[in-house]
Amino acid sequence: MRQTGSESGLEARRRIRAGHHPGHTAGLAPGHVQANLAILPRDLAADFQRFCHRNPKPCPLLAASEPGDPRLPALGEDLDIRTDLPRYRLWRDGELVEEMADIRALWRDDLVAFALGCSFSFEAALLADGIALRHIAEGRDVPMYRTSLMTTPAGPLHGPMVVSMRPLRPADAIRAVQITSRFPSVHGAPVHIGLPETIGIADLGRPDYGDPVEVRADELPVFWACGVTPQAVVAASRPAFCITHAPGHMLVTDLSNARLAIF
Amino acid sequence: MRQTGSESGLEARRRIRAGHHPGHTAGLAPGHVQANLAILPRDLAADFQRFCHRNPKPCPLLAASEPGDPRLPALGEDLDIRTDLPRYRLWRDGELVEEMADIRALWRDDLVAFALGCSFSFEAALLADGIALRHIAEGRDVPMYRTSLMTTPAGPLHGPMVVSMRPLRPADAIRAVQITSRFPSVHGAPVHIGLPETIGIADLGRPDYGDPVEVRADELPVFWACGVTPQAVVAASRPAFCITHAPGHMLVTDLSNARLAIF
């Protein structure tokens, strides 16, 4: 991977658009907000906007496009939502049917794109504070789990909340609550600590998405609401048509992580 | 107990001074800050002031008197530290030798009084947020434990950190971290959550001070640094002379709890 220490969001998007970065976006354009993506036809878009408003922890809405407009000017200059992510997923009737690197052939005048905050931003804040994150140290995807915590439905949209898990020593867990509370637009404070069975997680070693990560005897599993929740909602609600990012293949924006802090 | 809903800090202190309230101060002058007390001779007072600065979580210093002056004007009008607490403890060479309701006969020109923040203030903030606290609901003292977490020494003063424990469901524990982080002058955020054995607590059912309180299967024990720490430090450091409040028999001040919040 080339050195990306000084890359801007725009430079990263142009490199992705040109097909020069087909992989995960972790570590791209350091310091810049990355986003989860959901694209829905206009008839479901109003439901989804309401769904995000009712479920701000898993679905913190950063920006929504005008119908048919592939730009998100609030998030970046010369941003084209159809080409600027390295990998997309196409869902039909709630089933994943295809992954692709470009969705121009699928674009329609009635589609609305939603960009949701992503844990990369708060992970950067945790790392900057000196809190080690094992999945990053080990080069794994964060483990994610469907829970028994239900989202608040909106129209036909419903489903379980998905959470990501990071093992932390208790003092670090307390510090992590403080740090991530400052970032409500990227999932904010954890939704759970320490007792996974009470939120419907039977086995931490078998995540529903991502990779397993060890929780040591002197650590607690700490759980944040996760931007993969819309994909679980799509699977549960079965909309006829939906496009999302592929896990880890995010929209890189021009926003600075630091500017998301509310105090 | 008479109705104290509208009582001021000054009214409560005058009632205590007159001997009309010999018991615990919990619930007195609601909304007002109560404080832990430590009184030391001038030769140890500088060490103690430094000790508090180095250990702000167990020993958040609200005010220190001038040597020999029994007033603490920063904390209240017409406040006399020798008479305004319902019960004091006299310690000699680290041993508790006597409890009394008035220390005028012991007062000396070289004594310095220290008032330290107390958990009553953050408990009021937790209750106001709708978080139930079992020890209060059951009319018990909060359970407190000496830990293997060591304070940072200052001169001859050293000893273990004492913590108080409140059982909370995980979501409430996260909210409690947020709420108490706003109140650094009354112990601030918890120092530990969930794994008591890692901080030297072998049996939650046998607190070193206060009463045991049940921790249910869907709860985590949450631990805050405790203002009883100076008494453990006195026991460990064995100063020739020291006066403290008796547990639960605090200094009632004129300060409002709400004004302690830093944001």
How much is the ipTM here?
0.88
Amino acid symbol at A3: Q
Residues of chain B contacting residue A220, judged by C-beta atoms under 8 Å apart: 193-195
> Is 90 exceeded by the pLDDT of residue B247?
no
Contact B260, B95 (CB under 8 A): no
Mutate to test the interface with A, among B129, B149, B165, B177 (most CBs of A within 10 A): B177
**Phi, psi dihedral angles at B111 (to 5 degrees):** -85, 140
Q: Of B148, B155, B152, B145, whose CA–CA distance to B239 is shortest?
A: B155
How far is residue B252's CA from residue B7's CA, in Å, rounded to a whole number?
A: 11
> How many domains does chain B divide into?
2
Same domain as B61, residue B17: yes
How far is residue A157's CA from residue A168's CA, in Å, rounded to a whole number?
A: 33
Considering only CB atoms, which residues of chain A are within 8 Å of chain B? 170-171, 173-174, 177-178, 181, 189-195, 198, 218, 220, 263
Confidence at residue B5, expressed as pLDDT on a 0 to 100 scale: 57
Confidence at residue A2, expressed as pLDDT on a 0 to 100 scale: 45
**Hey, what are B172's tokens?**
């409430």
Give the closest of B174, B195, B263 to A170, CB-based.
Answer: B195
How far is residue A9's CA from residue A29's CA, in Å, rounded to a whole number?
A: 6
How far is residue B124's CA from residue A118's CA, in Å, rounded to a whole number?
A: 35
Same domain as A150, residue A75: no
Residue B85 located in a structural domain: yes
Instruction: For residue B150, give the CATH number of its domain.
Output: 3.30.2040.10
Q: Could you give the residue ranges of the DSSP H alpha helices within A138-213?
A: 170-181
**Hey, what are A84's tokens?**
């600027």
Residue given tokens 């005897």 in the structure block: A217
What is the span of the domain harbouring residue B149? Answer: 120-229
Same domain as A140, residue A99: no
Interface contact flag, B174 A194, Cβ < 8 Å: no
Instruction: For residue B33, give the CATH number of its domain.
Output: 3.40.1640.10
Interface contact flag, A198 B218, Cβ < 8 Å: yes
Helix axes A170-181, B170-181, angle to 10 degrees: 70
Same domain as A183, residue A111: no
Residue B221 located in a structural domain: yes
Q: Cβ neighbours of residue B18 under 8 Å, at least 6 residues apart?
A: none
Q: Could you give the residue ranges of the DSSP H alpha helices within B129-204?
A: 134-137, 170-181
The alpha carbon of residue A224 is apart from the nearest alpha carbon of chain B, in Å, by 11
Interface contact flag, A195 B218, Cβ < 8 Å: yes
Task: Taking the CA atoms of B200, B206, B212 and B216 in sequence, report the sign of the dihedral they define.
Answer: positive
Same domain as B85, residue B129: no
The alpha carbon of residue A121 is apart from the nearest alpha carbon of chain B, in Å, by 20
H or E element, residue A162? strand A160-168
Burial class (CB in 10 A: 0-12, 13-18, 19+), A135: buried
Same domain as B104, residue B18: yes
The alpha carbon of residue B99 is apart from the nearest alpha carbon of chain A, in Å, by 37
Q: Over the range B61-72, which residues count as b (16 or more CB within 10 Å of their CB) and which as e? A: bbbbbeeeebbb
Interface contact flag, A191 B174, Cβ < 8 Å: yes
Interface contact flag, A174 B194, Cβ < 8 Å: no
Residue B160 located in a structural domain: yes
Contact B36, B116 (CB under 8 A): yes
Same domain as A145, residue A190: yes
Contact B149, B43 (CB under 8 A): no
Same domain as A221, residue A141: yes
Residue A4 located in a structural domain: no
Give the closest of A178, A193, A263 to B193, CB-based.
Answer: A193
The alpha carbon of residue A179 is apart from the nearest alpha carbon of chain B, in Å, by 10
Residue A104 located in a structural domain: yes
Closest residue of A to B221, CA-based?
A194
Same domain as A28, residue A99: yes
The alpha carbon of residue A166 is apart from the nearest alpha carbon of chain B, in Å, by 15
3-state secondary structure of A253: strand
Residue given tokens 């924006």 in the structure block: A253
Same domain as B103, residue B17: yes
Residue A47 located in a structural domain: yes
pLDDT by position in tens, chain A (length 263): 444 457 999 999 999 999 999 999 988 999 999 999 999 999 999 999 999 999 999 999 999 999 999 999 999 999 999 999 999 999 999 999 999 999 999 999 999 999 999 999 999 999 999 999 999 999 999 999 999 999 999 999 999 999 999 999 999 999 999 999 999 999 999 999 999 999 999 999 999 999 999 999 999 999 999 999 999 999 999 999 999 999 889 999 999 999 999 98
Span B76-103, average pLDDT: 97
Residue A98 located in a structural domain: yes
The alpha carbon of residue B176 is apart from the nearest alpha carbon of chain A, in Å, by 10
Residue A263 located in a structural domain: no
Span B102-113, average pLDDT: 98
Amino acid symbol at A86: P
Contact A177, A113 (CB under 8 A): no
> Is 60 exceeded by the pLDDT of residue B8?
yes
Residue B263: band (very low, low, confident or very high) from pLDDT cuts 50, 70, 90: confident
pLDDT digits (tens, 9 = 90+) for B11-63: 999 999 999 999 999 889 999 999 999 999 999 999 999 999 999 999 999 99
Give the closest of B173, B181, B195 to A218, CB-based.
Answer: B195
Same domain as B157, residue B185: yes
Closest residue of B to A193, CA-based?
B170
Same domain as A29, residue A127: no
- A-B contacts (CB, under 8 Å): 57
Residues of chain A contacting residue B218, judged by C-beta atoms under 8 Å apart: 195, 198
Q: Helix and strand tally (H, E) in chain A?
A: 6, 11
Burial class (CB in 10 A: 0-12, 13-18, 19+), B74: middle
Interface contact flag, B174 A177, Cβ < 8 Å: yes
Strands (E) located in chain B: 32-41, 61-64, 88-92, 95-100, 111-117, 144-150, 160-168, 192-193, 220-225, 242-245, 251-256
Confidence at residue A4, expressed as pLDDT on a 0 to 100 scale: 45
